[in-house]
Amino acid sequence: MNTAIEKLLNDQIRYESKASLQYLAMAVWADQKGYNGVSEFFYLQSEEERTHMTKLIKFVIERNGNVELPSLEQPKSDFNSLPELFEHFLESEVFVTEQINKVIFECLDKKDYNVHNFMQWYVTEQLEEEATARTLLDKLNIVGDDKSGLYLFDRDINSFDQKDA
């Protein structure tokens, strides 16, 4: 495997792992505040990011590359409000998308169509996740400070059709 691409894939393993830990911290925050629906949403997101990480790890090993597991910084664990929580979620997803685009760019530059093909799954996944984050943030902005709206948001978050997000 090309060393520049191997490095980018290892960076990507770190970003997926970081997102997993960050979403776990967000689930814990929401759980402690009594937002059970939101915490369930982020526990699930955290698990998904972990599977994105392991998918990359297995791919690098299959391609005979070297995997470097990351050591991670403490995630952000305190938030002032649900909108702040979801702004952070959106920022995290936008960042990951940018990093995936870098991998894609490098694959095309180095003509590694195998990795390019593998990364398409991540491109699609990011499109969906960014759309979900934006839609949820839009809903929260509509609700504003209305407590019953926040209650309904928390109650219904896991039943929104994410494909429509």
Contact status: 17 vs ligand OFO (CB under 6 A): no
Q: Which residue is it, tokens 């791919």?
A: 59
Which of 5, 13, 19, 115 forms a contact with ligand OFO (CB under 6 A)?
Answer: 19
CA 158 – CA 34 distance, rounded (Å): 15
AA letter at 104 = I
Nearer to ligand OFO, 96 or 107 (CB): 96
Contact at 8 Å (CB) between 163 and 123? no
Q: Which of residues 25-84 bind ligand OFO (CB under 6 A)?
A: 49, 52
Encode 90-100: b = buried (16+ Cβ within 10 Å), e = exposed: bebbeebbebb
Taking the complex as a whole, the smallest distance from the CB of residue 44 to ligand OFO amounts, in Å, to 12
Q: Which among 109-117, 121-129, 136-144, 146-154 is the span making contact with ligand OFO, rule CB under 6 A?
A: 121-129
Residues that bind ligand OFO (CB under 6 A): 16, 19, 49, 52, 93, 96, 125-126, 129
